[in-house]
Structure 1
């Protein structure tokens, strides 16, 4: 039997992982608070599926020791948080250095994560603010925010708002952002030959 969701109580990451129910419902831990994730819609899942295929094809072509897990957490060090990104690209050789990987499929070192991708849904503030700050602090080299429905704030994606892909690259410990819209060819530091436009991603390759 699944334990009841803790109410009005901050929990540690260890408590969160022990509690996590195997029901198909996704949860994350944000600074000790358990957050139920909004069920994804079809467009969201099509974009995730399309991108997984493109990224896997590219890292195999480059013979890189990467893989994309079905379910795994990113735990920022020294924080009671755990995030489950839409796409988490892992560097297999570094997993031997991850203390929580074998038992909890959790990573906490930037060397394990070449790339994180979030496809924006109604909780867009988490992607643009909380996760962005934590991934930057961790030293994750590349972070994509795919805002296909233009949900983010105008200060983030322009006024009038329009579908935008924001690619954050870590330089000297800080993220520098490049944004792509319409027929712009996206530029990924990890995969410079990916050869995809923003619209191809928004339309999931259609």
Structure 2
């Protein structure tokens, strides 16, 4: 059995970059603390893939949707780096081929709730993404009845824009319509 060396201090962005690559788990950094969770299972991955497909087919050319891309929520020490299931950014941001993006570059962050992430997605990330200035935040809940809750940033706080179980229609970050039922296989 191999021994994993876990950090014994709060991590900086340089420490985060120096971590060995490991795709067997999902990693995020919360105020310098390394958070490790299992990789998403089939239904979660299906929902991400289907939502990616639906968004990509509707977004204008100047916007891009990315799966599981690093988002620097706070870059001060200690930093916070999240990996939303999906995010929408301006295409011009992607032209620089960044390893990660800062919150001010993200127009929409999407989290699909996993076992063990409900409180983080609905409370912690809701506050963090609002503080980072991300204009839109969606939470996809795959528990029956499957739903999408869409929030819009108003005066520094997220306000409920829509909570649907059938079809989500929004105007930001672009006019989008999502068939919620297609997110489950």
TM-score bracket, shorter-length normalisation: 0.7 to 0.9
2:98 is the alignment partner of 1:86 = no
Question: TM-score with structure 2 length normalisation?
Answer: 0.83
Shift, 1:169, TM fit:
0.6
d(CA) in 2 for partners of 1:70, 1:200: 18
SS at match of 2:52: helix
SS in 2 for 1:121: coil
Q: How many residues are treated as equivalent by the alignment?
A: 180
Corresponding residue number in structure 2 for 1:159: none
More relative contact order, 1 or 2 (CA 8 Å, 6+ apart): 2
Instruction: Provide the secondary structure at the position in 2 that maps to 1:129.
Output: helix
- Residue 187 in structure 1 maps to residue 166 in structure 2: no
Q: Which runs of 5+ in 2 are unaligned?
A: none
What is the distance in 2 between the residues matched to 1:42 and 1:138?
Answer: 30
Match of 1:76 among 67, 73, 76: 73
TM norm structure 1: 0.76
More helix by share: 1
> 1:127 and 2:110 equivalent?
no
Partner residue in 2 for 1:200: 182
- Cα shift at 1:5: 4.0
Which protein is richer in strand relative to its size? 2
- Contact between 2:136 and 2:152, CA under 8 Å: does it hold in 1? yes
Contact 2:68 2:85 in 1 (8 A): no
